[in-house]
Structure 1
Amino acid sequence: MFGVLSPCVTHLDSELGAQWRAHMCGVCLSLRADHGQLARLTTNTDAIVVSILVDAQQQSPSDMVTAGPCALRGMRTAQVVAPAELSVRLGATTSLTLASAKVIDVLAEQQTGLGPPSALRSRGARFAGPRLRDKALADDRVATAIGGRALLDEVAGQADVEVSGASLDEITDGAARAAGAVFAATADLAGAPGNHAALEQIGYDFGRCAHLLDAAEDLEKDAKTGAFNPLIATETSLEQAAQDCRRLISAIRAATDTLVLRDDRLLRMLLLGGLERAMTRVFGHRPDAVFTTPGSPTRPPNRPPLPPFYQRILPWMGVYCTGYACCADHTNPCNGKRHQAGCKGCDCCDCCDCCDCDC
């Protein structure tokens, strides 16, 4: 399960917890119904928030169906958002678009020398790239609403921006505008044009914040491997990145207050609470970084070195293809990051009253 956002289940009552699972399972089933079983591997928690956002703007809730027993739910049935609903279709298309963008980015980094050379990664990206792009654009109504074709074309040029010596704002602008387009599309698909401008700004700020959080989380690994990292390239300290993220989250919170929604409870718990937890995960227990020379943070790595990629691919398939990632806390074999279970999602506390999720 990929993405920055996840709910703190400790702070979700039974109703909101059921809504979260309904959208998560609905996106997953929509991916399976329209794109096959393997497409479910692209399920992204950040994409689930746009499904929730479409539903929250509609005059009535999305239609529900009873999903059959699933290993990820302990072989229990569940009421989930119908795979044909626009909300989960947008979530599915967004998941596929994010996966396609990631593959494009990997291939561009290999071609421009921004990432460590890897023949296996290059071959994998060349194989998966066209297939993911076709799937991301397959739902014509949703792909048109988010401008999917133009979005993916723009991602292909991101490496040129990164090698040009651009500023941090210029580097993160592509992700920001892409997220802005997706968030704004939720208003169009839900028939709530009055929310379009505010959601475009929320998405823009979220995209920039997510890019910074990802860069900060990967800082140590990228410094060691020589992969491109926006903070290293622009000599930005972790302290400054944290301040920028805090400013962006405050702006997102203020703009969210202006939205006209049928029910904003789950959105606030996932979007605002999820960003707060991501801040704690990335910055909360880490000292500020000081760059003595460009690209050289003084803080030593706190994760052991990873084995070669070919030794990690089978464990990755075991963790994600079997659905284990949805059921249990796990370490991503490909990047060494620790993740909470997709159906649990509490990474901000020890499931007690100390959780700062007052969103």
Structure 2
Amino acid sequence: MFGYLQIEKEELLVKEFETYKAVYCGLCKQMGKDYSFLTRLTLSYDCTFYAMLLMSLHSSCGGFKKGRCTCNPLKRCNFAYSKNDDYQKAAAFSIITVYYKLIDDINDSGFFKSLFSRMIKPFFSHQRKKAKKRYPWIDEYVAEMMERQAVIEQDKSASVDISADPTAQMLGKILAKDGNDETESRVLYEYGYNIGRWIYLMDAADDIEKDAKSLSFNPFIQEDGLTLDNNIISLTLNQCLARAYDAYNLLDINGFKGILDNMMLRGFPKIQNKITDKTQKDSDKSFESQKGSKDE
């Protein structure tokens, strides 16, 4: 995924930050165990969030153990353990999303720009087949999302809502699979839908300048080449987080609540403000550049 689902470290208690790192390291260890040492390098904040959310919903944290970091054997880490397959599910989700991201990069970039993606694709294709065998429904939802996204992005006039819908539905369906009953599944779908929508639109906001230069599709860039007002972008992102938070408050969070609350109320808004501040600066530069050209 994209790495936007982050904590606000300065606002966490020390023990909460150590717990977060233990889950991160636990997922890293699981990825190496289930797939390959190299797949650990693709571990993201987003999939750590997914693992932590699942462990909280299922009360599956089985405690903590000290061990050697595989990437740095001189370092000792705390590893959080899960009593069920929550780590395995998050590891599979990570592998599958990385594979489809590679496919997207290859399709959207020229041969030389996508050369690295082409080189590592066979490796991740093999790992993705293993992940798909374990969790076929995750691969199905991600593949469906990529297919729908490709069709939508062919239409340069596609609206913000339509553009964000495939990613939103994908994450909503994946989270809904872990509901204990129909009601919880519906809440998890609503939560996942709005977090997925926020992730997609965050990535779009982050890429506005790059997409404007390359003339690539971006829902925040209008057909005439002008970017939507930054206030509208911020309002749209705020709406996603607000709806996600409403659904989050309906969930039975049994563990890691302080950390998950920190992410929802501190971490996500912080990274959003960082992105929207950047888009505002880029917009101001563009305006000054256009003004200077007219003056000349």
Q: Could you tell me how far apart the structure 1 residues matched to 2:194 and 2:124 are? A: 26
Structure showing the higher helix proportion among its residues: 2
Q: Do the aligned partners of 2:153 and 2:163 also contact (CA within 8 Å) in 1?
A: yes
TM-superposed CA distance for 1:158, in Å, is: 2.1
Q: d(CA) in 2 for partners of 1:157 and 1:126?
A: 23
Q: CA deviation at 1:6?
A: 1.6
The residue type equivalent to 1:214 in the other structure is: D
Residues in 1 aligned to 2:99 and 2:25: alpha-carbon distance in whole angstroms: 21
Correspondence 1:147 to 2:138: yes
- The residue type paired with residue 94 of structure 1 is F
Given the alignment, which residue of 128, 138, 162 partners 2:120?
128
1:229 aligns with 2:228: no
Q: After superposition, what is the alpha-carbon deviation per residue over 1:80-102, rounded to whole angstroms, capped at 9, x for unaligned?
A: 12488522222222222221221
Alignment of 1:196-345 (within 5 A): 196-233=185-222, 236-263=228-255, 264-284=257-277, 287=280, 298=287
Which of 148, 159, 163 is the aligned partner of 2:154? Answer: 163
Normalised to the residue count of structure 2, the TM-score between the two structures is 0.83
SS at match of 1:66: strand
Which residue does 2:293 correspond to in 1?
A: none
Instruction: Supply the AA of the counterpart residue of 1:206.
Output: I
CA contact (8 A) 2:145 2:167 kept: no
How many residues matched? 284
Q: Give 1:105 deviation, angstroms.
A: 1.5
Deviation at 1:2, TM superposition (A): 5.3
Q: Give 4+ residue runs of structure 1 displaced > 4 Å after superposition.
A: 69-72, 191-194, 288-291
SS at match of 1:197: helix
User: 2:105 corresponds to which residue?
Assistant: 106
Deviations 1:188-247 (A, max 9, x none): 4xx566522111111111111111111111111222233332211565333212111111
Unaligned runs of 5+ in 2: 290-296
* Partner amino acid, structure 1, of 2:38: L
- Structure 2 counterpart of 1:6: 6
Structure 1 residues 286, 101: closer, same or farther in 2, change over 3 A?
same
CA RMSD after TM alignment: 3.0
Q: Cα gap change, 1:103/1:262 in structure 2, threshold over 3 Å: closer, same or farther?
A: same
Q: Counterparts of 1:60 and 1:4 in 2: how far apart (Å)?
A: 25
CA distance in 2, matches of 1:207, 1:283: 18
Amino acid of the structure 2 residue aligned with 1:196: S
State the distance in 2 between where 1:299 and 1:221 align: 18
**TM-score when normalising by structure 1:** 0.70
One-letter code aligned to 1:23 = V
Letter in 1 for 2:67: A
Instruction: Quote the sequence identity (%).
Output: 21
* SS of residue in 2 equivalent to 1:180: helix
Secondary structure of residue in 1 paired with 2:135: helix
